[in-house]
Amino acid sequence: MLNNEEINTAIQVMRTSFPNAGTTLKADNPFHFLLATILSAQSTDKSVNLTTPPLFATYPTPQSLAAAEPGDIEPYIQSLGLFHNKARFLVGCARKLVSDYHGHVPRDRKELMTLPGVGRKVANVVMAECFNIPAFPVDTHVSRVARRLNIVPPKATPLQIEKRLMAAVPRKHWLAAHHSMIFWGRYQCTSRNPQCAKCPLLTMCQYGQDNVI
Ligand code: SF4
């Protein structure tokens, strides 16, 4: 397993390679960012960004979306996977915001996780991106990179990965480290064809060394 120093060194290399890493979801306020994050489950940020402008224009507030039915939402998001479920989540989420949170997106993780479609990762993303509350969201890219680099054991759960990274990385760098690892997973350590032969982390990555032989 990599120790804390090695983990931070690896993440610094990722940050140097992708200095502009950041969120690629587009939204004009926390409510719309929450919706976009829910929609991004098993969909790319690019495809979400293509669907959201008309959706956001039609439903600018939680109150307006709460008055809709899932069937009203589906035409806006039918190009995305799981769109039936996602339409239910969006409407349910808006209704809960109106009924329980005065129409505001809560900042607290436990409260966020009471919203339909919001698990720990979505809650962490919203806390960090909308409210600047330190959190380390773990998505499919962060998980893959952490496992391949031996930051965590191969079968580590997302929560175990999150806890290991939070313990190793200084709190003020959590969000930037999260973005660096996502970009690394998206463009360097890709799911199917990781660029191991040209990887600056090859010397510390057994998975990569085995991959290039
Ligand atoms: Fe990923 Fe390969 Fe680099 Fe290891 S060497 S971090 S597996 S791209």
Q: Are residues 51 and 79 in contact, defined by beta-carbon separation less than 8 angstroms?
A: yes
Q: Which two tokens stand for residue 8?
A: 């931070």
Give how many domains the chain has, as a whole number. 2
Is 53 in the same domain as 115? yes
Domain finish residue from 131, 163, 180 = 131
Q: Average pLDDT of 173-177? A: 98
Domain check: are 41 and 65 in the same one? yes
CATH number of the domain encompassing residue 148: 1.10.1670.10
Active-site annotation, residues: 121, 139
Q: How far is CA 152 from CA 12, 122, 137, 194, in A?
A: 18, 22, 15, 18
- Compute, in angstroms, the gap from residue 86 CA to the centroid of ligand 1: 33
From the alpha carbon of 207, which atom of ligand 1 is closest?
Answer: 7
As a whole number, mean pLDDT of residues 102-122 equals 98
C-alpha pair distances (Å), 55 with each of 48, 68, 79, 153, 176: 11, 12, 13, 41, 29
- The mean pLDDT value for 91-115 works out to 98
For the CA atoms of 119, 125, 126, 132, what is the dihedral angle to 10 degrees?
Answer: 140
213 pLDDT band, cuts 50/70/90, is confident
201 within ligand 1 shell (Cβ under 6 A): yes
Angstrom distances, CA of residue 204 to CA of 92, 142, 158, 196, 209: 46, 17, 22, 11, 9
Q: What are phi and psi of 26, to 5 degrees?
A: -105, 130
- What whole-number distance in Å separates Cα of residue 95 and Cα of residue 100? 8
| Ligand 1 center from residue 169 Cα (angstroms) | 20
Are 41 and 54 contained in the same domain? Answer: yes
> 113 and 189: one domain?
no
**What global pTM score does this model have?**
0.96
Residue 199 located in a structural domain: yes
What is the mean predicted confidence (pLDDT) over 180-209? Answer: 97
Indicate whether 208 belongs to any domain: yes
Mean pLDDT of the chain: 98
The finding on whether 148 has its CB within 6 A of some atom of ligand 1 is yes
**CA triple 11-12-18, angle to 5 deg:** 90
CA-closest residue to ligand 1 atom 4: 208
The two three-digit tokens of residue 70, written as one number = 């899932």
Whether residue 25 lies inside any domain: the answer is no
Q: Is the CB of 151 under 6 A from ligand 1?
A: no
Q: Is the CB of 98 under 6 A from ligand 1?
A: no
Nearest CA to ligand 1 atom 7: 208
pLDDT at site 67: 98
| Domain at 119, CATH number | 1.10.340.30
Domain boundary among 131, 150, 167: 131
64 pLDDT more than 80 = yes
Distance from the alpha carbon of residue 138 to the mean position of ligand 1, in angstroms:
18
* pLDDT, tens digit, 9 for 90 and up, residues 145-156: 999 999 999 999
By residue range, what is the domain housing residue 193?
Answer: 4-20+136-212
In this structure, the answer to whether residues 203 and 172 fall within a common structural domain is yes
User: Do 143 and 123 fall into the same domain?
Assistant: no
- CA 94 → CA 3, 98, 142, distances in Å? 43, 6, 29
Is 90's C-beta closer than 6 angstroms to any atom of ligand 1?
A: no
